[in-house]
């Protein structure tokens, strides 16, 4: 259970996030710089939740997702009713429409539960969706409603997920009678997300984790890279209560190998430090977690067959043979779970859901655990990348473990740029001048140094596949002032578009970045104006029935642009 200190730490984190957001948006409005700490924390809370619960990493995209009336009034002088929906995210990969209701409380109360009345304040919006009548809506929320109806009316099956995200201590349950009735009436999936869930999802801090355990001789295999090596690794058949014990947040339990099946494990929680190097994190919207829990509940004795196991990397592993009972005693130092993070957290969640699960279910289940003794950081990163590549995970996330990505993160941080290398990477330890995700940087490098802005937005997968070496490995300008200048120019492009009368898009921003890279002496505001005039005339001369965004991804438009601006 989260406590008062967690509440205070979350507030401090949200304030720092807000300050970094303001720097990234390059906003000079006095009204935004002079907010109270509570107001800063409230808006920073929006970004923290969106970064945690969506697959995006860009502050600009989060800003566009936010529909909240007060937010848009303060940031963009647009006061339009949000109808109880504070943000909207469209996950086109999983066919999910994710809606958010945010409530940030000023004071902590250990017994405070999320308010059911504020959750159902969006009934007017959901009624507009269910009837298809959005005429009474205005502004951004009408655009969201129309976009939802467009997807629901298509031949594809879409799921609406409604998150009620607050910093309150007790989360509203999905089986609450009023919540259940509301969800069934509007055909939505409700998910409460409170202080406990926030702490679990965001409070990962790296520190050394050690543990001890023992297994029967027949339950462990030894692996050595060569016969002369003393560097041994092990493959172990381990009971789930023992796995819970060695990964829990109680160091005394972790060090006592005699505590397997002890009653104290019923209340054990996973120590998030063991997942610091895990590429995947906890995918909160993934059905895969539900399948893990279902197999534990229905067929715990067959869990070993259904699960791929867990990979643990440790700085040191020591083993000794016990003279009594035919067992091996193990001591594991400074270890990390690099593959199987979802499995581990789901096992802990199942344990906490019912005090009888430990004896009735988990004690019957086993899992395969690989303990690898690795001190080479580069090899550690490769193991994390390759073991995760066997499962469904994006290439972008896999590349986040590469040494060049870690070096890039450190290089950009030295220049005041926060680089989102992994999902959930919002840092609250310092202030930054700008924040950018690896996907967006890849698009920027492709548009400028490689000179191909026309494919930057529709070749996102290739950026971390066939184009990765070109952009991030053989690019000798990557760790240089050139990249830093590209990023800060892009910040100016975004903010200039937001302040202009033109509708900026990521694709347009890439073209302006390309032109600025090629025509260094021209002002960004001038380039935007000239580009928009050229785009307008190009569309009028090419009478195909398609949107402006479709023209922007064609080689014909790119060639015509080069001719117009005399780009060589």
Integer Cα distance of 123 and 171 in angstroms: 20
Residue 414, CB half-sphere, CA atoms under 13 Å: how many? 10
Question: Is the per-residue pLDDT at 387 higher than 90?
Answer: no
pLDDT tens digits, one per residue of 488-526: 999 999 999 999 999 999 999 999 999 999 999 999 999
Q: Are residues 384 and 401 in the same domain?
A: no
Q: Are residues 387 and 517 in the same domain?
A: no
Integer Cα distance of 168 and 103 in angstroms: 9
Question: Is the per-residue pLDDT at 286 higher than 60?
Answer: no
- Residue 91 β-bridge partners: 96
Integer Cα distance of 254 and 209 in angstroms: 9
Over residues 264-271, the mean pLDDT reads: 84
Quote the pLDDT of residue 32: 93
Integer Cα distance of 59 and 42 in angstroms: 16
Cβ distance 18 to 44 under 8 Å? Answer: yes
Please give the tally of structural domains in the chain.
Answer: 3
Residue 101, CB half-sphere, CA atoms under 13 Å: how many? 23
Residue bearing tokens 């091996």: 328
Residue where a domain terminates, one of 339, 360, 392:
392
Residue where a domain terminates, one of 347, 369, 392:
392
Q: Are residues 518 and 405 in the same domain?
A: yes
CATH number of the domain that residue 16 is part of: 3.40.91
Over residues 37-62, the mean pLDDT reads: 93
Cβ distance 50 to 87 under 8 Å? Answer: yes
In total, the chain counts a number of residues equal to 568
Q: Say which residues have a Cβ less than 8 Å from residue 314's Cβ, sequence separation at least 6.
A: 332, 333, 334, 335, 336, 371, 372, 373, 374
Cβ distance 497 to 509 under 8 Å? Answer: yes
Edge-first strand order for the sheet with 189-193 is 87-91, 96-103, 159-166, 189-193
Q: Sign of the C-alpha dihedral, residues 191, 193, 196, 198?
A: positive
Q: Which of 376, 335, 204, 345 is nearest to 276 (CA)?
A: 204
pLDDT-based confidence at residue 204 (cuts at 50, 70, 90): very low
Domain that holds residue 266: 211-392
Integer Cα distance of 240 and 261 in angstroms: 9
Q: Are residues 198 and 216 in the same domain?
A: no
pLDDT tens digits, one per residue of 221-265: 888 876 655 678 999 999 999 999 999 989 999 998 887 656 778
Q: Are residues 404 and 479 in the same domain?
A: yes
Burial class (CB in 10 A: 0-12, 13-18, 19+), 104: buried
Long-range pairs, 527-536, Cβ under 8 A, ≥24: 528/493, 528/496, 528/497, 528/500, 528/502, 530/565, 531/561, 532/502, 534/561, 534/564, 534/565
Q: In angstroms, what CA-CA distances link 324 with 216, 234, 344, 545, 557?
A: 11, 21, 31, 81, 78
Residue bearing tokens 């009408």: 142
Q: Are residues 20 and 150 in the same domain?
A: yes
Integer Cα distance of 73 and 302 in angstroms: 55
Residue bearing tokens 């202080």: 195
Quote the pLDDT of residue 218: 82
Integer Cα distance of 343 and 370 in angstroms: 14
Compute the mean pLDDT over every residue in the chain, rounded to the nearest whole number: 89
Q: Which of 242, 508, 212 is nearest to 365 (CA)?
A: 242
Residue bearing tokens 């295999």: 221
Over residues 330-352, the mean pLDDT reads: 90
Quote the pLDDT of residue 414: 92
Q: Are residues 384 and 404 in the same domain?
A: no
Q: Which of 538, 438, 33, 54 is nearest to 281 (CA)?
A: 54
Helices (H) and strands (E) in the chain, counts: 27, 12
Quote the pLDDT of residue 382: 76
Q: Are residues 414 and 357 in the same domain?
A: no
Min mean pLDDT across 66-75, 271-280, 357-366, 475-484 is at: 271-280
Residue where a domain terminates, one of 155, 185, 202:
202
Backbone angles phi and psi of 189, in degrees to 5: -110, 115
Q: Which two tokens stand for residue 124?
A: 């007017």
Q: Are residues 262 and 382 in the same domain?
A: yes
More confidently predicted of 428 and 182: 182
Min mean pLDDT across 94-98, 120-124, 312-316, 474-478 is at: 120-124
pTM: 0.74
Q: Are residues 385 and 404 in the same domain?
A: no
Alpha helices in 103-250 (DSSP H): 116-119, 123-131, 139-152, 177-186, 195-202, 240-246
Q: Are residues 178 and 251 in the same domain?
A: no
Alpha helices in 81-121 (DSSP H): 116-119
Q: Are residues 163 and 185 in the same domain?
A: yes
Cβ distance 430 to 424 under 8 Å? Answer: no
Cβ distance 50 to 100 under 8 Å? Answer: yes
More confidently predicted of 548 and 151: 151
Alpha helices in 307-361 (DSSP H): 341-353, 357-360
pLDDT-based confidence at residue 3 (cuts at 50, 70, 90): confident
């Amino acid at each position: 259970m989260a406590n008062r200190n967690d509440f205070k730490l979350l507030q401090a984190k949200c304030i720092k996030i807000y300050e970094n957001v303001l720097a990234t948006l390059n906003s000079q409005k006095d009204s935004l710089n002079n907010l109270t700490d509570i107001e800063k924390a409230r808006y920073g809370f929006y970004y923290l939740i969106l970064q945690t619960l969506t697959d995006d990493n860009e502050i600009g995209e989060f800003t566009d997702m936010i529909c909240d009336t007060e937010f848009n009034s303060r940031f963009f002088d647009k006061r339009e009713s949000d109808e109880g929906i504070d943000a909207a995210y469209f996950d086109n990969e999983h066919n999910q429409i994710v809606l958010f209701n945010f409530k940030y409380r000023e004071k902590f109360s250990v017994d405070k539960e999320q308010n059911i009345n504020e959750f159902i304040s969006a009934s007017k919006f959901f009624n507009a969706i269910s009837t298809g009548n959005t005429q009474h809506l205005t502004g951004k929320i009408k655009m969201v409603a129309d976009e939802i109806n467009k997807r629901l009316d298509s031949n594809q099956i879409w799921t609406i997920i409604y998150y009620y995200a607050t910093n309150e201590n007790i989360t509203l349950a999905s089986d609450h009678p009023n919540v259940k009735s509301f969800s069934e009436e509007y055909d939505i999936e409700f998910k409460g997300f409170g202080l406990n869930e926030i702490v679990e999802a965001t409070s990962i801090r790296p520190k050394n984790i050690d543990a001890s355990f023992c297994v029967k001789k027949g339950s462990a295999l030894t692996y050595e890279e060569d016969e002369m090596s003393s560097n041994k690794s092990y493959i172990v058949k381990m009971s789930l209560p023992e796995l819970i014990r060695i990964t829990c947040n109680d160091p005394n339990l972790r060090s006592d190998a005699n505590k397997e099946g002890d009653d104290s494990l019923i209340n054990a929680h996973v120590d998030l430090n063991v997942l610091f190097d895990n590429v995947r994190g906890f995918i909160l919207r993934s059905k895969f977690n539900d399948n893990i829990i279902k197999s534990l509940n229905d067929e715990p004795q067959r869990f070993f067959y259904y699960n791929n196991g867990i990979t643990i990397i440790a700085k040191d592993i020591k083993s000794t043979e016990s003279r009594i009972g035919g067992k091996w005693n193990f001591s594991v130092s400074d270890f990390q779970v690099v593959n199987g993070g979802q499995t581990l957290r789901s096992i802990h969640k199942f344990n906490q859901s019912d005090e009888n699960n430990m004896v009735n279910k988990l004690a019957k289940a086993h899992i395969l655990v690989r303990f690898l003794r690795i001190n080479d950081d580069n090899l550690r990163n490769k193991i994390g990348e390759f073991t995760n590549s066997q499962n469904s995970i994006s290439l972008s996330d896999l590349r986040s473990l590469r040494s060049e990505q870690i070096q890039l993160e450190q290089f950009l941080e030295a220049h005041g740029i926060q680089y989102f290398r992994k999902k959930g990477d919002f840092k609250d330890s310092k202030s930054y001048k700008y924040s950018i995700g690896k996907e967006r940087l890849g698009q920027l490098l492709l548009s400028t140094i490689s000179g191909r802005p026309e494919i930057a937005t529709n070749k996102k997968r290739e950026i971390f596949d066939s184009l990765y070496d070109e952009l991030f490995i053989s690019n000798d300008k990557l760790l240089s002032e050139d990249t830093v200048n590209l990023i800060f120019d892009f910040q100016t492009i975004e903010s200039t578009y937001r302040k202009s009368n033109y509708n900026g898009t990521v694709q347009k921003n890439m073209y302006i970045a390309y032109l600025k890279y090629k025509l260094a002496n021209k002002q960004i505001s001038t380039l935007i104006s000239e580009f928009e005039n050229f785009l307008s005339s190009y569309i009028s001369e090419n009478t195909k029935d398609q949107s402006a965004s479709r023209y922007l991804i064609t080689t014909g438009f790119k060639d015509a642009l080069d001719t117009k601006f005399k780009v060589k």
